[in-house]
Amino acid sequence: MANATNDRRKFMVKTVQSIGLATMGGLLWSGFAIEAEGSPLVLRPPGALPEEDFRQACIKCGLCAEACHNRESNIDKETGEQREGTIKMAKGGEEALIGTPFFVPRDVPCYMCDDIPCVPVCPSGALDMPSLLNEKGELDINKATMGLAVVHKESCIAFWGLQCDACYRACPLLDEAITLEYTQNERTGKHALLLPVVHSDICTGCGLCEKACVTEKPAIFVLPREYATGRVGDHYVKGWDKRDQQRAGLRKADEIETQTKRSEEKPVDYLNKEIEY
């Protein structure tokens, strides 16, 4: 009788242990799967397709990272050795989908190589070379849209009134992608504020400004354009822009209906009722 009781007890203990281990394993795998998907805020190399398309097209070969690391401009002038490349291949625990290329500007920004060595070597089209060709059919790094720099005004010391133009000076498209807006320092009444302004139609998202930022955590940082920009919507139209009017398919002014039920009344009939606005 005692042996039967012990056997049942051992069976129950093993069952509970097995359930616990299975549950723990499921939780661990779930966490790993979520991590493996990567952050939506990851920055990809020049010419990368939209994120979902990029993930499907990228074969995780690492040729882009190798070309970036071995580029001629990546030689340390003092030691003559290769420096760390901009592009990294994601490992477990990092921001991007495991095995895919990405870069972190605060560590190593994109140095805007004229020949863009990382793109022509891509065998799958995940890095789309045609998107980087200019009117002459030449590779043009200025056409890259890796991301968009965003300024956090509250932590940017230029907005405090301290003289700093580190991001402006670091920008490879000097006085184009980032300009300085001069305005009066109302706190002192004597000095000017030199405020960095990012122009989204020019900024390539290289991250050189983020790398140069002097604050402990950068006050200017690069985000994927999808998350750094707003969207006006098709229902707003630039009335002074003929092309935008054509896009919206506006009718002629005399064809647009502007009358409403309220139009049938005189203002004096409803303005003083205090119940309609």
| Torsions phi, psi for 133 (to 5 deg) | -90, 140
**Residues 178-192: pLDDT tens digits?**
999 998 888 887 778
Query: Over 90: is that where the pLDDT of 232 sits?
Result: no
**Residues 98-157: pLDDT tens digits?**
999 999 999 999 999 999 999 999 999 999 999 999 999 999 999 999 999 999 999 999
158: CB partners within 8 A, 6+ apart: 164, 165, 193, 194, 195, 196
pLDDT at 3: 57
CB atoms within 10 A of CB 194: 18
**Residues 43-60: pLDDT tens digits?**
999 999 999 999 999 999
pLDDT at 231: 87
Angstrom distance (rounded) from CA 58 to CA 119: 12
Compute the average pLDDT of residues 211-223: 97
The per-residue DSSP string of 128-142 comes to -GGGGB-TTS-B-GG
pLDDT at 265: 74
**Residues 139-156: pLDDT tens digits?**
999 999 999 999 999 999
Query: Over 90: is that where the pLDDT of 208 sits?
Result: yes
User: What is the model's pTM?
Assistant: 0.74
pLDDT at 256: 52
